[in-house]
Structures are given as C-alpha cells and as structure tokens.
C-alpha cells in the first residue's frame, strides 16, 4: 500500500468571533488517500489556513522539505516511522509549534488507515484497552462578557451537565469573562454550592496570573472546594513559575493544551513539577501523545487529554487515546447540547459518542470509527 494524495482542507463557520477563546469555529481537516482506495482522516487544532499552507508548500532544502511531497509513495501502515521521518525532515521549518501540529493531523489520519486495514479500532493498535474508564468532564466556556452574566450562564450549564450524566465539570474563569481574583473565588464557591458532592469541580484560568504569589494567594482561597486540578495558572513558558505554584499549592497543577512536542511536556514534568499533562491528539498526534503518556506514567503523573476541539473527529481521537491509558482520570468534553452554536461539531462528523453511566464506552472501529459528511464538508469548506 502506498500514499497517493494528501488533501488539506479548511472548514469554517459562516460567522466567527475572533475575540473569543473558541477553537470550535474553524478546523483543519486532512485526508490521506492510498492506492488501495482506503482513506484516513485527521483533524488539526491550530490555525487552519496556515496548516494547509504547510502541507501544500514545496520543500526548499534537506532540512525543510515539503510535508505533502514527503508522504507520497510512502507506506501509511508505519505511522510512528513516518512521524519521525517527517519531524526530522522539517526540523528547520517545524520542530515546535505550527509545523509539528500539522504532523499531528496527518498522524491521526495514518492511524485511521492502519485501523481500517487491520479492521481494528485505533485504541487496540495503541496497546489495547487499559480497563480504566473513559470519564468525560464537562468543559464550560461561553465567551467574553461581564462576570454577572458569565456566572448565571455557567450555573445553568453546570446544572444541565449534571443532568447529562457528567461526573465532573470545569469552570473557566478566563480574564475575558471573569475580571478579578475575588470573582474567581466567588465563581468556584457558587458552582460548588450548586452541585455539592454530585460532581467534581476542575478549574482552568487560561494562563492569567502574572506571578506565583498571585496564583497561590487565590488558590488558597479555593482549596476548600477541593478542585481536581488547576489548569494553566501561569504563562506556558514560565517553567519556574509552574514549579513554585505546584510546590506551594495542594491543588494538582495541569498544563499542555498548547504543547505539541514531547520535549515540552517532559520539561514541565521534570522542571515545572506539574502533576497533570494535557496533550490533545489532534495537536500532538497519536504517536507522540502515546510517548508523552508513557513519560508521565514513568514519573507518576496523570494524563488528561485536552478536548476543546472543532469536530467529533477530535473527540473520538481523544477517546481512543484515553482508552489505552491507565493514568488518565478524565478527558475533556464539550457536549454539543451545551454549545448549540458549534456548527462543525453538530454537522461535520459522526457518530457522536454518548455518555453511559458517567463514562464513554470504548470507541468503535475500524480505525477512528467516524465518517465525514461530504455535503457538510462542501458547505463549510473555505479552502
């Protein structure tokens, strides 16, 4: 079997809000086609137009080769080898950031092909089900606004999340919707009072604190809510700041949604002392996410996949990954009912996984076990 074509596609809602921290509004989709008629699909959770340009661009020299050109005539059934080849062959134009995120989308498509050829779901190719449940938490962010409105909407969504069967929820007091640290403390206590012990609370502050002292002062005022973790308390490059927060708070510290390489995760575990790493399969790929999870397991750390994704393809990819892990207590999930404006989630890829008794069942195959609606793809395609 050989790869014959790499189709790089950009999809986007008709109307988007560029001020919102919302990666559901557009997406990069890649289709890897083979000479035996089997096609793999992947999603990229980065800047879609730029990702397409990386795939379509020709190479310029041996350390900056064209991604699409490199893949033609290659065997798609060796995704780990191909990831290593692509990474080394694009080291000058990639290495971190956007260039590596493109490799992740392609890697997902290659594992999809491999699963289809072997008639197995991807999680079986990753080592098989660990036996640990795939437990989703309800991720809640509804755009910029004043605190009063943010609180009202979130309390409604938390109550509905409980009805939908979630065992946990995550509040996201980002600076664009929760303006002060006092409001963060109020937000945490009000949401905790609403559901009590019925659900576990998680918190994501979106890199908002400038110093460890500020972070720790606020975290000590929410420790009585017993959050399962505090996500991205400091700027993502502040390794020393993470170490000081992790050492100074009883709340587990999590980071990783914007990381795309194994090195970034190991640096934060080894030097930033974080408790939880958060690779997203469609930003890191199956190949590297599995390596990150192995690194975390060896260090006694946990993995909680980042799941703020544009389509159901990204959701299902995370579920295959989570199914293979023994150190994955949660996986992030944005329920489509809570986000009626997320058109791509509702219309582009199916089937959507369903929560049963607080967990996701093992995802079906072969491959990823999902299909893209071609009519919807044509409707939302912009490049």
Taking only the tens place, the pLDDT of each residue in 62-98 is: 888 889 899 999 999 999 999 999 999 998 888 888 8
Report the relative pairing of strands 349-350 and 371-372 from DSSP bridges. antiparallel
What digits encode the pLDDT tens for the residues 25-71? 999 999 999 999 999 999 998 899 999 999 999 888 888 888 989 99
Q: What is the pLDDT of residue 358?
A: 97
pLDDT tens for each residue of 294-353: 999 999 999 999 999 999 999 999 999 999 999 999 999 999 999 999 999 999 999 999
- 156-195 pLDDT tens trace: 999 999 999 999 999 999 999 999 999 999 999 999 999 9
pTM of the full structure: 0.96
pLDDT at 282: 95
CATH node for 125-374 = 3.20.20.120
pLDDT number for residue 246: 98
Give the start-to-end residue ranges of the domains of the chain. Answer: 3-119+375-380, 125-374
Q: For residues 363 and 360, what is the distance between their CA atoms, to the nearest angstrom?
A: 8
The CB-based long-range contact list for 74-78 (8 Å cut-off, 24+ gap) reads 74/2, 74/3, 75/1, 75/2, 75/3, 76/1, 76/2, 76/3, 76/32, 76/34, 76/40, 76/110, 76/113, 76/114, 77/1, 77/113, 77/114, 77/117
For residue range 270-301, what is the model confidence (pLDDT) as tens digits?
999 999 999 999 999 999 999 999 999 999 99
The secondary element (H helix, E strand) that includes residue 379 is: helix 374-380
User: Confidence band (pLDDT; 50, 70, 90) for 227?
Assistant: very high
pLDDT at 22: 83
User: Which one of 3.10.20.30, 3.30.1280.10, 3.30.390.10, 3.40.250.10 gives the CATH number of domain 3-119+375-380?
Assistant: 3.30.390.10
């Amino acid at each position: 079997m050989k790869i014959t074509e790499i189709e790089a596609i950009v999809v986007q809602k008709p109307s988007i809000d560029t001020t919102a921290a919302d990666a559901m509004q557009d997406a990069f989709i890649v289709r890897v086609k083979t000479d035996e008629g089997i096609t793999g699909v992947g999603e990229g959770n980065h800047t879609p137009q730029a990702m397409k340009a990386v795939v379509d661009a020709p190479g310029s020299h041996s350390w900056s080769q064209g991604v699409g050109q490199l893949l033609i005539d290659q065997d798609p059934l060796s995704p780990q080898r191909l990831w290593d080849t692509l990474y080394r062959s694009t080291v000058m134009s990639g290495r971190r950031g956007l260039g590596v995120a493109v490799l992740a989308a392609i890697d997902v498509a290659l594992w999809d092909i491999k699963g289809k050829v072997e008639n197995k779901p991807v999680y079986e190719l990753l080592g098989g089900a660990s036996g640990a449940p795939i437990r989703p938490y309800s991720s809640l962010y509804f755009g910029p606004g004043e605190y009063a409105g943010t609180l009202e909407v979130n309390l409604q969504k938390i109550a509905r999340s409980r009805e939908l069967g979630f065992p946990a929820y995550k509040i996201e007091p980002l600076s664009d919707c929760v303006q002060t640290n006092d409001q963060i403390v109020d937000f945490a206590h009000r949401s905790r009072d609403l559901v009590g012990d019925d659900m576990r609370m998680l918190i994501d502050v979106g890199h908002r604190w400038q110093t460890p002292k500020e972070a720790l002062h606020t975290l000590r005022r929410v420790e009585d809510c017993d959050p399962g973790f505090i996500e991205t308390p400091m700027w993502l490059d502040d390794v020393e700041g993470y170490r000081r927060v992790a050492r100074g708070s009883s709340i587990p510290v999590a980071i990783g949604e914007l990381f795309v390489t194994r090195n970034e995760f190991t640096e934060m575990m080894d030097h930033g002392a974080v408790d939880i790493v958060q690779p997203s399969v469609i930003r890191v790929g199956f190949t590297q996410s599995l390596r990150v999870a192995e690194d975390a397991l060896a260090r006694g750390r946990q993995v909680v996949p980042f799941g703020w994704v544009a389509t159901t393809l990204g959701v299902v990819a995370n579920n295959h990954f989570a199914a293979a892990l023994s150190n994955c207590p949660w996986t992030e999930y944005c329920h489509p009912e809570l986000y009626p404006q997320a058109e791509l989630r509702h219309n582009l890829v199916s089937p959507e996984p369903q929560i049963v008794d607080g967990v996701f069942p093992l995802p079906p195959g072969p491959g990823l076990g999902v299909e893209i609606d071609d009519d919807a793809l044509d409707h939302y395609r912009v490049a």
